[in-house]
């Protein structure tokens, strides 16, 4: 019999721990497994507890202070161990602050040995209500708050928090959250996901009832998703999808990135360049912090460019115009011409050499 696992994620330690304690009381016969990464000491702290108190408190030295090492060396093995113990009916796994649930979900989707004992019942993201909008579209970095997961972690708080919301089955925000912040969360969240104000609104029984659908979650959170939410402008929050089959012009994009990537909004999606036609290029940003990387090959899929944006207040009026101007235009060299057979396009710092990734 498989033990249901509830994965808890967040970008703020007090909020994560408050949610963990509240959910521990509400989940049936639950054990909580809490992990925290000390980047400076390269140590992973593990605490296992249930309603009787703390059962384990261990420190594990990591070869590298990063989420991947923590998952491989202790988080997944500990989840399997407590699930096979037989004393508990639910495992509540509070992941390190800043760590996303997708890696564990992916492991359990292909590891048949682990999946005989564990099943991800739901993914919950807990966010601070008082700082909700700033936490999603502000410009702070995880490292500035001491919440980074590795020495190289330069991710923005908003980029990580928004991605967690987009992946979650349930989003719990602090009771003091305002309406604009709640509307923004609802715009970002997967259709059908629950958005709750206050951990007291969490129904532990429902969290164990197989809320998580791995394929549906991947389809929504994927950079190449096609079924995005429609354009929304409800006054408090807005969402806008910009799409085309054309690639971005490398030169114009390089010099005008901030027109779409800057500002207090969430932006994510995929694009392609005529200089790198075979590869999905990933766009991921929030609050003016923008990450660009390369994903998998397009394969048999038709290359396309799609940027989904969301924010609070009124949507900037220039977004569609800027998007259109960044696309390859008829006046530019046509696709497939020798003009795009170059050795450099200016995106090497983010995407690597053209000959390696194209």
pLDDT tens-digit readout, 268-309? 999 999 999 999 999 999 999 999 998 999 999 999 999 999
Residues 301 and 342 in one domain: yes
Residues 192 and 53 in one domain: yes
Residues 78 and 194 in one domain: yes
Residue 358 confidence (pLDDT) above 60: no
Task: Point out the domain boundary residue: 162, 195, 221.
Answer: 221
pTM of the shown model: 0.93
Q: Give the angle subtended at the CA of 93 by the CAs of 90 and 95, to the nearest 5°.
A: 170
- Eight-state DSSP code of residue 156: B
Residues 93 and 201 in one domain: yes
Residues 208 and 289 in one domain: no
Contacts 24+ apart (CB under 8 A), 258-263: 258/288, 259/318, 259/322, 259/326, 260/307, 260/309, 260/319, 260/322, 260/323, 260/326, 261/285, 261/288, 261/290, 262/288, 262/290, 263/287, 263/288, 263/311, 263/316
Residues 143 and 213 in one domain: yes
Tell me the pLDDT band of 1, cut-offs 50, 70 and 90.
Answer: confident
Residue 230 confidence (pLDDT) above 60: no
Q: What is the CATH number of the domain that holds 109?
A: 3.40.50.300
Residues 75 and 189 in one domain: yes
Domains identified in the chain, total number: 2
What was the pLDDT predicted at 234? Answer: 58
Average pLDDT over residues 214-236: 76
What was the pLDDT predicted at 94? Answer: 97
Residues 123 and 259 in one domain: no
Q: Cα dist. 6→56, 168, 205, 252, 253 in Å?
A: 19, 11, 11, 45, 41
Q: Is residue 338 part of a domain?
A: yes
Residues 239 and 171 in one domain: no
Residues 101 and 158 in one domain: yes
Q: Is residue 342 part of a domain?
A: yes
Residues 280 and 215 in one domain: no
Task: Point out the domain boundary residue: 186, 221, 256.
Answer: 221
Q: Is residue 227 part of a domain?
A: no
What was the pLDDT predicted at 160? Answer: 96
Does residue 60 contact residue 74 with C-beta atoms inside 8 Å? Answer: yes
Tell me the pLDDT band of 115, cut-offs 50, 70 and 90.
Answer: confident
Average pLDDT over residues 175-196: 93
Residues 125 and 249 in one domain: no
- If you write DSSP's letter for every residue of 276-295 in order, what string do you get? EEEEEEEEEEETTEEEEEEE
Task: Point out the domain boundary residue: 170, 199, 221.
Answer: 221
Which range of residues forms the domain containing residue 351?
232-357
């Amino acid at each position: 019999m498989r033990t249901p696992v509830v994965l808890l994620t967040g970008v703020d330690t007090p909020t994560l721990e408050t949610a963990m304690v509240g959910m521990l009381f509400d989940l049936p016969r639950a054990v909580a497994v809490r992990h925290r990464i000390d980047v400076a000491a390269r140590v992973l702290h593990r605490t296992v507890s249930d309603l009787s108190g703390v059962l384990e408190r261990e420190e594990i030295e990591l070869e590298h202070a990063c989420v991947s090492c923590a998952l491989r060396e202790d988080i997944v093995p500990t989840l399997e161990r407590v699930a096979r113990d037989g004393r508990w009916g639910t495992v509540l796994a509070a992941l390190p602050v800043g760590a996303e649930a997708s890696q564990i979900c992916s492991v359990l989707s292909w590891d048949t040995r682990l999946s005989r004992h564990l099943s991800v019942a739901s993914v919950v993201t807990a966010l601070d209500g008082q700082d909700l909008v700033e936490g999603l579209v502000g410009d702070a970095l995880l490292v500035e708050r001491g919440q980074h997961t590795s020495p190289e972690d330069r991710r923005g708080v908003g980029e990580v928090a928004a991605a967690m919301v987009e992946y979650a089955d349930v989003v719990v925000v602090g009771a003091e959250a305002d309406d604009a912040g709640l509307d923004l969360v609802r715009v970002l969240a997967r259709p059908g996901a629950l958005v709750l104000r206050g951990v007291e609104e969490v129904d532990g029984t429902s969290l164990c009832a197989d809320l998580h659908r791995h394929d549906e979650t991947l389809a929504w959170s994927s950079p190449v998703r096609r079924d995005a939410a429609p354009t929304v402008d409800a006054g408090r929050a807005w969402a806008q999808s910009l799409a085309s089959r054309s690639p971005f012009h490398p030169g114009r994009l390089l010099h005008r990135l901030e027109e779409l990537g800057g500002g207090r909004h969430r932006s994510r999606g995929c694009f392609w360049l005529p200089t790198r036609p075979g590869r999905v290029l990933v766009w991921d940003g929030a609050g003016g912090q923008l990450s660009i990387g390369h994903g998998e090959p397009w394969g048999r899929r038709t290359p396309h460019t799609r940027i989904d944006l969301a924010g609070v207040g009124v949507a900037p009026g220039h977004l569609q115009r800027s998007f259109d101007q960044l696309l390859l235009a008829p006046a530019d060299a046509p696709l497939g011409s020798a003009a795009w057979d170059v050795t450099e396009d200016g995106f090497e710092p983010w995407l690597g050499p053209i000959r390696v990734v194209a």
